[in-house]
Chain A
Amino acid sequence: DAGVTQSPTHLIKTRGQQVTLRCSPISGHKSVSWYQQVLGQGPQFIFQYYEKEERGRGNFPDRFSARQFPNYSSELNVNALLLGDSALYLCASSLSLQGAGDQETQYFGPGTRLLVL
C-alpha cells in the first residue's frame, strides 16, 4: 500500500512569495494534519483537517492556510514567505479522529523541504 505522499519534495522560494504544498493521505484515511519541522527541532503542529473541515490549528500566523478536498487530499498554503519559514513541512494522515484505538495512529509522509532565500 502506498503511504502518505507529498509534493514537491524540495522547493526554493524568495521572501514575499507564496507557496502551495500538497499531500495525499493513505487510501481510506480521512484525517490529515500538517506539521512544520525546523532543522534540529521536533515537528510543530500547524493544522488538522477531518472530512474537509478544520479541526485544529496550531500557533501559526494567518499567512498559513490549508484545505482538504473531497478525495481527502490536502494543500498547505503559505503567503508572504519569511526566511524563518524555511523548514521541512510534514503531512500526516490517520484513519479517523483520535480516540478510535489503532485507527488514530498518525502516519507521516516524507515531507517537503522549503528553503526561503
Chain B
Amino acid sequence: QQQVKQSPQSLIVQKGGIPIINCAYENTAFDYFPWYQQFPGKGPALLIAIRPDVSEKKEGRFTISFNKSAKQFSLHIMDSQPGDSATYFCAARVFGNEKLTFGTGTRLTIIP
C-alpha cells in the first residue's frame, strides 16, 4: 500500500496554541517522512523530515513525533502564529525510490 492518510482535514487554533496534525501509513518500506507547508499560489516548502530510526525531531517551533510500531507520525507546531496559517502535507518515500507519496493535506488557520 502506498497510501498516506492525514487528519484532520482542517484545523483552527488560537495564537500560541499547539496544532497537531497526524498521518498514518501502511507500507513498512517507507523510510523517509517529510512535512511540507504550502501557501496559496505557491509550491510546497519542506519544513522538517524524519527517518524511522528516531522517535522525535525538533527544528525551531516544529516537532515531528514518530511511532514506528503504530506506523504513525505527527507534526506539532509550538507557539503557533497567524503566519503559520497554511496547508500542511505529510509525505513518505520508499528507500531507493524518488517518488514522494503525499497525504491529503490539512488546512491550518491560526486566529489572533
Indicate, yes or no, whether A interacts with B. yes
Which residue numbers of A lie inside 8 Å of B, CB to CB? 4, 31, 33, 35, 40-45, 48, 50, 55-56, 58, 90, 92, 94, 97-99, 104-111
Whole-angstrom distance from the CB of B36 to the nearest CB of chain A?
Answer: 8
Whole-angstrom distance from the CB of B44 to the nearest CB of chain A?
Answer: 5
Query: Interface range on chain B: under 10, 10 to 19, 20 to 34, or 35 or more?
Result: 20 to 34
Find out whether the CB atom of B41 lies under 8 angstroms from the CB atom of A110: yes
- Chain B 23-49, CB within 8 Å of chain A: the 1/0 string? 000000000101010000111111001
Find out whether the CB atom of A42 lies under 8 angstroms from the CB atom of B46: no
Find out whether the CB atom of A31 lies under 8 angstroms from the CB atom of B104: no
> Given known contacts A98-B93, A99-B95, A106-B46, is B100 in contact with A43 (CB within 8 Å)?
yes
> Given known contacts A42-B102, A43-B102, A45-B101, is B43 in contact with A109 (CB within 8 Å)?
yes
Q: How far is the CA of A55 from the CA of B96 in the complex (A)?
A: 10
* Chain A residues closer than 8 Å to B6, beta-carbon distance: 42
Whole-angstrom distance from the CB of B105 to the nearest CB of chain A?
Answer: 5
Find out whether the CB atom of B98 lies under 8 angstroms from the CB atom of A55: yes
Q: How far is the CA of A83 from the CA of B102 in the complex (A)?
A: 23
Find out whether the CB atom of B98 lies under 8 angstroms from the CB atom of A48: yes
Residue B89 interfacial (CB < 8 Å)? yes
* Chain A residues closer than 8 Å to B91, beta-carbon distance: 42
> Given known contacts A33-B98, A45-B99, A56-B97, is B32 in contact with A98 (CB within 8 Å)?
yes
| B43, B46, B103: the one within 8 Å of A90 (CB) | B43
Find out whether the CB atom of A111 lies under 8 angstroms from the CB atom of B100: no
